[in-house]
Amino acid sequence: MPKFLRSRNWGGLLFLLGALVLAFTFRPWSTNAQTSSDWQSIAAERGLSEADMRAAMMTYTPSGMLDEYVMFASGGHGGQVLVIGLPSMRLLRTIAVFTPEPWQGYGYGVGEETLAGGFIDGQEITWGDTHHPALSETNGEYDGNWLFVGDKANARVAVIDLRDFETKQIVHNPLFLNDHGGTFVTQNSDYVIEGGAYGLPIASEYAPLADYQSSYRGMITFWRFDQAAGRIDYSQSFALELPPYWQDLCDSGKLVSDGWIFCNSFNTEMATGGIQAGNPPFEAGVSRNTTDYLHVINLNGAVSVFESGGAEMVNGFNLIRLETAIANNLLYFIPEPRSPHGVDIAPGGDYIVVSGKLDPHVTIYSFQRIMDAIAAGTSEFDPFGVPVLPLETTMEAQVELGLGPLHTQFDNQGYAYTSLFLDSAIARWSLGGEGYRPQDGWTLQGRIPVQYNVGHIAAAEGDTTSPDGRFLLALNKWSVDRFLSTGPLLPQNFQLIDISQPGDQLQVLYDMPITAAEPHYAQIIAASTLHAWDVYPEVGWDSQTQAVAADAVQPGTEGVTRDGNNVTVRMTVIRSHYNPEWVEIQEGDHVVWTITSLERARDATHGFGVPYYNINLSIEPGESITFEFDATRPGVFSWYCTEFCSALHLEMMGYLTIAPSR
């Protein structure tokens, strides 16, 4: 029998269920009252246990009721972000980020400039691998303004505006071509952190693998975020050169540790693989050492060095060299056990938790102890001259949790939660430090199986200085038998877990298949903190500048004008017509076409799909969009509205005629 059914709270719940049943049974005004036998027979017919019914009651969200939380989950190599309501686990929307997406018109008439910001040396890149979304913060709390997400594949960072849930900027550091420890924000979102991944020569120039130690490097980038502009300020951003270990995940200090950044690493062996030449494969070569290095980075110090001219301009980007970092006390290492993965800072900023994929423990470092060790100095250095602080004096505790610990989250009761990849379970353990659960010490409190092979976990407001508790999401890599088969490619499985009860009482509430590549991480924000617009604030809105567009079309000024081969189309749209409905041009014309939506009604979105020319817009109420194309193929092209916007939506079309040139 599951733990939950034996718990005291079950009695309370049964009472509540009973009371509900009674209330409904004896509602004199009701004409179709449910009886207790209905409840029981439905449960019996469907084979539902009492725990199942509790889970249903905790997640079921009747039509019209809104969710309490909004989760932003990365979409992995689908290159997008998924927006999911909690506790219902309803998919609310996807946000196209690194990958063109026709529903939003992203890459099909709008967003081209944003996507082009992420092209590298003119190379068009139309996919990304989103790993770690980060909500913007004010004083260590999510403020609901911005969302950042990194692209592991190409080392890029995107900025999403949470007023309209659209990607506004993509940046790329020209010094590096992969990342992983991103994105994470400082407690006031001054910097967006993008940690490196696999060692590479700087700027990805050629160097043979035989020269790995001398020519390859690691990297971390600090993107300066300009809140007023809502954009990353490229010129005020800088990178820090690191030894060619593989920087893995990072987290940003907060409160007492504000201004410090922590990244775990692996491959301090500096293995270069080469299975085909008889060398040990990467998986073995990279796991030889019993410890790798936790990177402790003094961001405030690095900002001072950068501002006083201590960075070099390399390939158009500011870089603080490793020697400069060491000389200015910007970088320290601490050993971390067995193939580390994940580094997570406790809500108070006072403890740093690191997991080891091949170690059944999590290792907890104390920020104060780290500061003391830095003050005390060290006589140990890594081969590149980086000071190495002792594990023994900086470590606060180790807790044995199970096999394959990866990522840790926190709640409001002094508990931490760690995913166990190999065990397919989540461990709940107590933080023994002051302000958490000193009465319990650093101990394992309970475990719950998940299906299967969990990677990250995300708790409600989990990365803030005041997590909410209540819900925890397991982002499971494998779903195996959880869903009907749809062929050999299986979805990932998101499982919602109730963490509101103490001790070992944990319950899986809901399974949600994720069919958009592999989400790695998610953050969960209280829905009340978000303030998305219902419609664009004014007619003629340019969603790129978030202001009225200078070229927005006023009603009554619609039309087609020509200047030589340059054609300007000025169009308005409102249910259920475009104006004009004919656009008659010549082969060889260059066309600049503006469409302004005059709609003010919520949800009155129109589309604009043109065959052959690969154009498809989503024109939301009030929005004004300008796109360009060359009329290379003559013919007649019927454009139409791709959103079913009214009873006469099918009539909402027009003709683009392109006469052949002679």
- Positions touching ligand CUA (CB under 6 A) are 576, 606, 641, 643-645, 649, 652
- Pick 582 or 644: Cβ nearer ligand CUA: 644
Residues linked to residue 626 through DSSP beta bridges, in sequence order:
594
* Residues near ligand CUK (CB under 6 A), total: 11
Q: Which of 403, 409, 407, 404 is nearest to 472 (CA)?
A: 409
Q: Which is nearer to ligand CUA, 401 or 574 (CB)?
A: 574
State the binding partner of 570 from ligand CUK, ligand CUA, none, CB within 5 to 8 A by kind. Answer: none
Residues 227-256 that bind ligand CUK (CB under 6 A): 249
Tally of CB atoms within 10 A around 625: 26
* Minimum CB distance to ligand CUA, residue 654 (Å): 11
CA-based radius of gyration for the chain? 28
Closest distance between ligand CUA and the C-beta of residue 615, in Å? 15
Q: How far is CA 127 from CA 118, 180, 522, in A?
A: 10, 16, 19
Say how far apart CA 243 and CA 217 lie, in whole Å: 5
Residue 302 site contact among ligand CUA, ligand CUK, none (CB < 5 to 8 Å, cut-off depends on kind): none
Smallest gap from residue 164 Cβ to ligand CUA (A)? 19
CB of 27 to ligand CUK, least distance (A): 49
Q: What residue 85 binds from ligand CUA, ligand CUK, none (CB within 5 to 8 A, per partner kind)?
A: none
Q: Which of 59, 69, 87, 131 binds ligand CUK (CB under 6 A)?
A: 131
Using DSSP, state whether 184 is helix, strand or coil. strand
Which has the closest alpha carbon to 246: 197, 211, 191? 197
* Nearest residue (beta carbon) to ligand CUA: 641
What single DSSP character describes residue 23? H
Q: How many CB atoms lie within 10 A of CB 39?
A: 17
Q: What, of ligand CUA, ligand CUK, none, does residue 652 touch, CB below 5 to 8 Å by kind?
A: ligand CUA
**Interface with ligand CUK (CB under 6 A), residue from 232, 299, 352, 406:** 406
**In 173-278, where do the E strands start and end?**
182-185, 191-195, 200-201, 216-226, 231-242, 246-252, 260-266
Both tokens of 593, joined, read 């076409």
Strands (E), 173-209: 182-185, 191-195, 200-201
CB 650 → ligand CUA: shortest distance, Å?
A: 8
Closest CA to 181 of 134, 135, 247, 137: 247
Fill in the amino acid letter for 532. A
356-395: contacts with ligand CUK (CB under 6 A): none
Joined together, the tokens standing for residue 137 give 């913060």
520 binding partner (options ligand CUK, ligand CUA, none; Cβ < 5 to 8 Å by kind): ligand CUK
Pick one of ligand CUK, ligand CUA, none as the site partner of residue 447 (Cβ within 5 to 8 A by kind): none
Asked if residues 127 and 79 have their Cβ atoms less than 8 Å apart, the reply is yes
Rounded distance, CA 34 to CA 302, Å? 66
Residue 612 interaction partner, one of ligand CUK, ligand CUA, none, beta carbon < 5-8 Å per kind: none
641 binds, among ligand CUK, ligand CUA, none (CB under 5 to 8 A by kind): ligand CUA
Q: In this structure, are residues 161 and 132 in contact, taking their beta carbons and an 8 Å threshold?
A: no
Q: Which residues, 517 to 576, sit near ligand CUK by CB under 6 A?
A: 520-521
**Binding of ligand CUK by 195 (CB under 6 A):** no
Select 497 or 645, whichever has its Cβ closest to ligand CUA.
645
Q: Report the residue number whose CB is nearest to ligand CUK.
A: 455
For tokens 């298949």, name the residue.
513
For residue 501, give the DSSP letter.
Answer: S
Site for ligand CUK contains 180 (CB under 6 A): yes
Residues 334-353 that bind ligand CUK (CB under 6 A): 341
CA distances to 90, 106, 273, 275 from 278, in Å: 50, 47, 9, 5
**Residue 172 contact, options ligand CUK, ligand CUA, none, Cβ 5-8 Å cut-off depending on partner type:** none
Q: Which residues bind ligand CUK (CB under 6 A)?
A: 131-132, 180, 249, 341, 406-407, 455-456, 520-521
